[in-house]
Amino acid sequence: MTTPILSVTGLHKTFTLHATGRVITSLDGVALDVGPGEHVAVAGASGAGKSSLLRCVYRTYLPDAGRVTLRTGSGPVELTTLPDRQLARLRGREIGYVAQFLAAPPRTGPLQHVRTAARRRGLEADAAEDAAVGTLRRLGIDEPLWAVDCSVLSGGERQRVNLAAGIVSPPRLLLLDEPVSALDPGNRERALAEIDTLARREVSVLAVYHDMRIIRRLATRAVVMDRGRVLADGSPETILAQHHTALEEVA
Ligand SMILES: Nc1ncnc2c1ncn2[C@@H]1O[C@H](COP(=O)(O)OP(=O)(O)OP(=O)(O)O)[C@@H](O)[C@H]1O
């Protein structure tokens, strides 16, 4: 078997609610691999731990236990214990994360936001500008919006700007959390077509989707999560056939 780009083993994450002291387990021993060029879709009911998994991989959340190993261009790196400065460097060419919501700095327009992402991935200024313009155009963000403050954009526009920043000059591993959930059919189709090109660019993807049609169309493997655990992991056809009812109910 080819060496995975990402290996997750024994991942645990709990939260203690300060008001009540109640402990919530969001990840309960998750193990998962993503191979080179694979597009692994994560499905499951609300609260199953899908976003927590992505956040622990990107280390927005620090897991309580477990290992997250990323195979970078210069060898394997253990992300859970990596010093912050080295982690910040990896969050350019090696690993990217498209969260559910756009978090652009104040007074930043779409072009600036996407251009900055391209610069972080190592593109020179002119190339970053070209890449940002091309990506925004392909995702249907028209020129009059490029300098508008991101905070005034519609929900769907914000989601496309967020996706544009994630896929512009994409990293080796891209984490996508429900990247098209707020889009109308036309823009959704554009966005899915862009996500589909990632495989041809040898980008590995770990993505959360609620829509089974998207999993059928894009994923090379599917994982079902339930109450912080991986319930099933296999080919999308097999997984969707076996878990069809449960997954369609939560879609
Ligand atoms: N920062 C946090 N503080 C407290 N609890 C949290 C936090 N983040 C996640 N949780 C809890 O962990 C559990 C898993 O949440 P998570 O967001 O990972 O689920 P999900 O499968 O992505 O759900 P959805 O499909 O609704 O986005 C939930 O019970 C959630 O309330």
pLDDT (0 to 100) of residue 244 = 73
pLDDT at residue 68 is higher than 70: yes
In the predicted structure, residue 76 carries a pLDDT above the cut 80: yes
Taking the complete model, does pTM exceed 0.90, yes or no?
Answer: yes
pLDDT in tens, 150-204: 999 999 999 999 999 999 999 999 999 999 999 999 999 999 999 999 988 889 9
Residue nearest to atom 19 of ligand 1 (CA): 47
pLDDT at 72 over 80: yes
Which of 68-84 are b and which e, b meaning 16 or more Cβ less than 10 Å from the residue's Cβ?
Answer: bbbbbeeeebebbebee
Task: Answer yes or no: are the C-beta atoms of 140 and 76 closer than 8 Å.
Answer: no
Residue identifier of the C-alpha nearest atom 30 of ligand 1: 47
Q: Which residues line ligand 1 (CB under 6 A)?
A: 15, 24, 26, 44, 46-52
Quote the tokens at residue 151. Answer: 């905070």
Phi, psi of 110 (to 5 degrees): -55, -45
How far, in Å, is the centroid of ligand 1 from the Cα of 201?
31
11 pLDDT above the threshold of 60? yes
- By most ligand atoms within 8 Å of CB, the mutation choice from 52, 181, 206, 247 for ligand 1 is 52
- Strands (E) in the chain, as ranges, are 6-16, 23-34, 39-44, 65-72, 75-78, 95-98, 173-177, 204-208, 221-226, 229-234
- Ligand 1 atom 26 nearest Cα: 46
The complex's ipTM works out to 0.97
Q: What is the DSSP letter of 77?
A: E
Which of 76, 114, 117 is closest to 93 using CA atoms?
Answer: 117
- Can you give the pLDDT at residue 250? 54
**Cα 89 to chain center, whole Å?**
18
Q: Residue 55 Cα, ligand 1 centroid: separation in angstroms?
A: 10
- Between the CA of 12 and the centroid of ligand 1 the distance, in Å, is 13
Least confident of 71-75, 87-91, 246-250: 246-250
- Counting atoms of ligand 1 from 1, which one is nearest the CA of 13? 12
